[in-house]
Amino acid sequence: MNWTTAIPEIFLSVAGLAILVFGVLRGRYSGPGNALVCSMLVLASFAVAAILIIGGNHGIGYNGQFTTDAFSSYAKLLILAGAALGLVLSLDYNRLEGLARFEFPVLVLLSTVGMMVMVSASSMMTLYLGLELQSLSLYVLAAFARDTLRSSEAGLKFFVLGALASGLLLYGISLVYGFSGTMDFNVLARSFADPAGVAPGLIVGVVFIVAGLAFKISAVPFHMWTPDVYEGAPTPVTGFFSTAPKVAAICLIVRLMGTPFGHLLASWQQLIVLVSIASMVLGSLAAIGQTNIKRLMAYSSIGHMGYALIGLAVGTAEGVRGVLIYMVTYVFMNAGTFACLIAMRRRGIALDKISDLSGLGRTDPMLAGWMTVFMFSMAGIPPMSGFFGKLYVFLAAVQAGMWTLAVIGVLTSVIGAYYYLRIIKVMYFDEGGEAFDRRPMSLSVVAAAAGLFTLFFFVFPAPFVGAAQAAARVLFG
Amino acid sequence: MIYAVAILAPLAGALVSGLSGRVIGDRAAQAVSIFVMVLAAVCGSIAFFSLANSDMEPAFVSLGSWVDVGTFHADWDLRYDTLSAAMVAMVTFVSTLIHIYSVGYMGHDKYPKYRFFAYLNLFTFAMLMLVTADNLLQLFFGWEGVGLASYLLIGYWYDRPAACAAAIKAFLVNRIADVFFAVGIALTFVKFGTIEFNSIFAAVPQHVADTYAIFGGSYPALEVIAFLLFIGAMGKSAQIGLHVWLPDAMEGPTPVSALIHAATMVTAGVFLMARMSPVMEFAPTALAFVTFIGATTALFAATVGCVQNDIKRVIAYSTCSQLGYMFAAAGVGAYQVSMYHLITHAFFKALLFLGAGSVIHAMSDEQDMRRMGGLAKYAPWTCALMWIGNLALAGIPPLAGSWSKDAIISATYAAGSGVGTYAFFCTVAAAFLTAFYSWRLLFMTFHGRSNADPHALEHAHESPFVMVGPLLVLAVGAIFAGWLLNNWFIGEGSAEFWRGSIYNLPGKDILARLEQVPTLVEYLPLGMAIAGIALAYLFYIANPRLPVRLADSYAGIYRFLLNKWYFDELYNAILVRPAMRLAAFLWHTGDARLIDGMPNGLAALAAGSSRETVKLQTGSIAVYAFTMLIGVVALVSVFLVFR
């Protein structure tokens, strides 16, 4: 039994338990200090896990339940980066909002473990295990500001709808199992070698599985929870939601479509195309009418998932490479955007209206400058990284002759540009309010790091493109 | 060398006063402008007289290469032959006087004056480039340059809507003619393979038989070229049909009217005919057309001039009419005579315009002759000078006009052709009308009972010397130019004077036949002029109620003339308004509705869809769950149907 494949996950799980115990034991000193120490420990374990992933060997372990390959390593590193950024963002916010409890970093860590298991899953059982570990932690995180009504509401809605999605997923898994007699991805792949002989019931099972996972990436029409949860959850949690779990879920879909259902490409392609188009269109249209910037970001992330799904819908290695590059650019520009949003605070009150940003260009040119970089990137304007993310997926679609997807993608980008550019307009051209509170160091660091990455991605895309290429070849060789 | 200085000095003046006028101030800019013009006038006169009094061959001053593409070459060359040098001398001389006059005339203007002087300099430079061009492209450069300067100066008072409209009208009408001109140049290049004058002229005899297919027919190429060039000339020289811009151009400051719209720019078309005479001579049909248009314009403009009440418009129609004379002469092959009249006309017409400017200046910007009268005692100098100008214009011997205009009338008679005879009658009738409207102007303005606003009369005064001085110089020219230049331009010394810069078909020697016309023809114009003066005296001094009664009893004819033969109304009806309607259609429907409509509609669609989509987000968890389930059902259906 090749148990070493799961060393990073095992390490993180053990570290998580240890940090939990540590936090409980220090309970009498419970407070901001304790939470800060635990957060630092979690960040340290993320770093160690990352090293373990880079140094770890590839292979299949646990009787075919768990697999590590270039794809999973790529995804896990990105997940760890997203989770670490999200955690850093929460440090000062939680302290200022009175949420600084040591359980927060531990929950982030546990959900991260769940995500890592998801992208390494090689069987429906592992998949479900990882998914639920992630989801349960996220439900709690959404309701972490339990004294505020909206956070509790967000957690509850997320939980109920998440449970429904899990039910759909489980039903799909059971259908697939019932028709094929196995849950192992590789065995499933072999049994579908001849797509003609596949039973309709099994296809229905695939649709249910896709529906369950589409909920996780908040793709239309399983996106309904997103705006409410994004708005209600504490802002760093929203930021975290929109980065690492999205990466995990989309990588999971890619693996699922690539390995067990790879031969059914002709069947599921149409499905992904529909979901992708619906997400792009709804994401760009519904965002226009928003006044709350967190809701706006919710629709923005729906739209971005639509773009990422273009790469999957193409069903080629180039397409998946596009997805993976898209996710890298997305994670960083999104984390940076949320760093700016968390900095929106006046006299100790956190703000989340778009109009609150007015005049930022004069009161805080630095923050407005980074925000401008991120908005340009989100809109896909060169030379920001967001442009290259879109470029690679559109390129794959065009190469595969899927012009409809590419054209709709470009059109919705144009609509999307409207509301991203509107934020820039509000910051620079609208009559200003008073300045924001002094922003903590952590936010400046994240904004600057993500901003520099976004701004200068075009200088060094080669390592990312190369790694994404290698990862994509594993699934769509 | 001196020649090049004469042409380039105004450019330097335009650059200095135009670009740095704001820095160096109005006085310095005026000083620079006038200095370069005096320099140019001195150099131009020296160049002209040294050419006229020597037996130099025509020469060139090369300034460098301009266009050199494939077989198409055009250089910046200054042509130094009699035709060009005479024009240079005249243009620089008149322009200098008008620059000086402008110092007084524009003295009370509320705008910075450096702009005005920079434009005048620029105009002079462009005009000089036009007349010294050695190829058609350079000529076209000058042609467009004077058009630009004319546009800028007509619209000089840019806060007056009428001035802006007049500037645009002048520009557009000239563009219409310029299209034909440009096509003519292109056709010349196609047929001759060159646009250099010497090469073209040398090759003309080889191309006499060439034809050019156009409008479903085949025509002699030289005729087509001549027609195209003449239509270009019609626009610039305000011949009937394309004359509508010239009266409106009087919205510009009066010195501009004198310089551009009387003495120099509008004569460019006549100059073009003379310059292209080696080609025109081989296009008899086109020449007949030139005579026809010229003679018709001479008569038409004179009739309109008889009933206008704006002092400047009377003189503007007079200019139009005199240009018609010049074309009539050019059309019968007497280019020398038309150039002769061009030069003498420049003196007395500039004199008349500047005199009118002096009157307007004296009357606090009043231009309507009905509100003048009896001004002789307020502005005696101006009155005397205007008399000289009108005597010259009407052709009373021995003033300038009598020499050149009588020569034109004789030339049309001597031509002997049918169209020549038509031109003879038109020009004789026009001579009568010319005298009539000239003295109508004099009587209404300077004599008789004063109808002026008493308030304006209080301020009425003689103009300062800086304005009267140039008038005196021009008056000397108006008196003596005809007598002085007769021998050179059309007399016995003409062949030696022109030295081949104007070409006459062998055997056509119309200049020689000028002397052989019957005595009656020689004295007819004078008789007509005296009759016209007498009639004007009868109408406006002896019995001032007569014209009113006449206008009442022949109201139709009067209105027809007063409305300038309804040319503007006709053009408005068949060209301007349909074009405006088309433009409005393209704007409202094409641009606003279709081109703007598409993005606007899409934007509205996006915004509307946004509102609807947002409504889906009710906040109810049951609706959310229901949506998810509907989604699953939809996807399963799609999947099973399209599998």
Token pair of B340 as six digits: 């002769």
> At a CB cut-off of 8 Å and minimum separation 6, what does A106 contact?
A16, A19, A20, A23, A38, A42
pLDDT (mean) for A290-295: 92
Interface of A with B (CB under 8 A): 156-157, 160-161, 164-165, 168, 200, 203-204, 206-208, 210-211, 215, 220-222, 224-225, 227-228, 267, 270-271, 274-275, 282, 284-290, 415, 418
pLDDT (mean) for B206-212: 86
Q: Are the C-beta atoms of residues A180 and A193 closer than 8 Å to each other?
A: no
Tell me which DSSP letter residue B108 carries: T
Residue (of B403, B276, B278) closest to B343 by Cα position: B403
Whether B639 sits inside 8 A of A290 (CB atoms) is: no
Whether B635 sits inside 8 A of A274 (CB atoms) is: yes
Q: Is the pLDDT reported for residue A29 higher than 70? A: no
Q: Is the pLDDT reported for residue A477 higher than 80? A: no
Token pair of A341 as six digits: 């949003």
Whether A222 sits inside 8 A of B628 (CB atoms) is: yes
Locate the domains of chain A by residue range: 3-476
CA nearest B628 in A: which residue?
Answer: A222
pLDDT in tens, B483-496: 888 888 888 888 88
pLDDT at A30: 63
The 3 state secondary structure assigned to A41-78 is HHHHHHHHHHHHHHHCCCEEECCCCEEECHHHHHHHHH
Q: How confident is the model at residue A1 (pLDDT cuts 50, 70, 90)?
A: low
* Residues facing residue B72 across a β-bridge: B69
CA nearest B605 in A: which residue?
Answer: A285
pLDDT in tens, A328-352: 999 999 999 999 999 999 988 889 9
What backbone phi and psi angles, to 5 degrees, belong to A67? -135, 145
pLDDT in tens, B18-35: 898 888 888 899 999 999
Q: Are the C-beta atoms of residues A59 and A3 closer than 8 Å to each other?
A: no
Token pair of B523 as six digits: 């004295």
Token pair of B272 as six digits: 């073009």
Residue (of B140, B278, B139) closest to B207 by Cα position: B278
Whether A286 sits inside 8 A of B617 (CB atoms) is: yes
Encode burial over B171-205: b for 16+ CB neighbours within 10 A, e otherwise: bebbebbbebbbbbbebbbebbebbbbeebbeebe
Sign of CA dihedral B322, B324, B325, B326: positive
Q: Which of A288, A299, A422 to mutate to test the interface with B (most CBs of B within 10 A)?
A: A288
Q: Is the pLDDT reported for residue B459 higher than 80? A: no
Q: What is the DSSP string of B412-424?
A: HHHH-SHHHHHHH
Q: Give, in degrees to the nearest 5, the angle at Cα A335 between A231 and A99.
A: 55
Is B607 in the A-facing interface, judged by CB distances under 8 Å? Answer: yes
pLDDT in tens, A432-450: 788 888 889 999 999 999 9
Chain A hits for B625, CB-CB cut-off 8 Å, are 160-161, 164
Q: Is the pLDDT reported for residue B82 higher than 60? A: yes
Q: Which of B628, B629, B630, B638 to mutate to test the interface with A (most CBs of A within 10 A)?
A: B628
The partner residue sitting opposite A288, judged by closest CB among B610, B628, B630, is B610
Q: What is the DSSP string of A144-193?
A: -STTSHHHHHHHHHHHHHHHHHHHHHHHHHHHHHHHHS--BHHHHHHHTS
Q: Length of chain B in residues, anyone? A: 643
pLDDT in tens, B224-250: 999 999 999 999 999 998 999 999 999
Q: Are the C-beta atoms of residues B61 and B77 closer than 8 Å to each other?
A: yes
Whether A157 sits inside 8 A of B621 (CB atoms) is: yes
Q: What is the interface pTM, i.e. ipTM, of the complex? A: 0.89
Q: Which amino acid is at B298?
A: A
pLDDT (mean) for A360-377: 93
Residue (of A92, A39, A45, A36) closest to A445 by Cα position: A92
pLDDT at B643: 64
Encode burial over B337-369: b for 16+ CB neighbours within 10 A, e otherwise: bbbbbbbbbbbbbbbbbbbbbbbbbbbbebbeb
Is B622 in the A-facing interface, judged by CB distances under 8 Å? Answer: no
B510/B531: higher pLDDT: B531
Whether B617 sits inside 8 A of A227 (CB atoms) is: yes
Q: What is the DSSP string of B326-389?
A: HHHHHHTT-HHHHHHHHHHHHHHHHHHHHHHHHHHHHTTS--BGGG---GGGT-HHHHHHHHHH
Token pair of A43 as six digits: 């960040």
CA nearest B643 in A: which residue?
Answer: A267
Q: Are the C-beta atoms of residues A208 and A171 closer than 8 Å to each other?
A: yes
Q: Are the C-beta atoms of residues A367 and A436 closer than 8 Å to each other?
A: yes
Q: Is the pLDDT reported for residue A31 higher than 80? A: no
Task: Name the 3-class secondary structure at B285.
Answer: helix
Q: Which of A166, A207, A220, A411 to mutate to test the interface with B (most CBs of B within 10 A)?
A: A207
Decide the pairing of beta strands B72-80 and B59-69: antiparallel
Q: Is the pLDDT reported for residue B477 higher than 80? A: yes
* Residues facing residue B73 across a β-bridge: B68
Q: Is the pLDDT reported for residue B568 higher than 90? A: no
Q: Is the pLDDT reported for residue B543 higher than 90? A: no
Share of chain A above pLDDT 70, in %: 99
pLDDT at B562: 83
pLDDT at B130: 94
> At a CB cut-off of 8 Å and minimum separation 6, what does A193 contact?
A263
pTM attached to this predicted model: 0.65
How far apart CA B426 and CA B334 sit, in angstroms, is: 17
Q: Which of B611, B615, B636, B638 to mutate to test the interface with A (most CBs of A within 10 A)?
A: B636
pLDDT in tens, B18-77: 898 888 888 899 999 999 999 999 999 999 988 888 877 778 888 888 888 888 888 888
Mean pLDDT (chain A, rounded) = 91
Token pair of A300 as six digits: 């923005």
Whether B636 sits inside 8 A of A285 (CB atoms) is: no
What backbone phi and psi angles, to 5 degrees, belong to B462? -70, 145
> At a CB cut-off of 8 Å and minimum separation 6, what does B553 contact?
none
Q: How many helices (H) and strands (E) does chain A have?
A: 20, 4
Q: Which amino acid is at A355?
A: S
Q: How confident is the model at residue B510 (pLDDT cuts 50, 70, 90)?
A: confident
Q: Is the pLDDT reported for residue B367 higher than 90? A: no
Q: Is the pLDDT reported for residue A230 higher than 90? A: yes
CA nearest A228 in B: which residue?
Answer: B619
pLDDT at A28: 64
Chain A hits for B638, CB-CB cut-off 8 Å, are 270-271, 274
pLDDT at A293: 93
Alpha helices in B499-593 (DSSP H): 510-514, 519-537, 546-553, 555-562, 567-571, 577-585
Q: Which of A224, A228, A230, A264 to mutate to test the interface with B (most CBs of B within 10 A)?
A: A224
Whether B621 sits inside 8 A of A160 (CB atoms) is: yes
Whether A267 sits inside 8 A of B643 (CB atoms) is: yes
The partner residue sitting opposite B606, judged by closest CB among A207, A208, A415, is A415
Q: How many helices (H) and strands (E) does chain B have?
A: 28, 4
pLDDT (mean) for B482-511: 84
How far apart CA B542 and CA B261 sit, in angstroms, is: 34
Cα diameter, chain B: 116
> At a CB cut-off of 8 Å and minimum separation 6, what does A124 contact?
A173, A176, A177, A183, A185
Taking CA atoms, B398 is separated from B347, B433, B480, in Å, by 15, 20, 8
The partner residue sitting opposite A282, judged by closest CB among B613, B630, B636, is B613
pLDDT at A220: 87
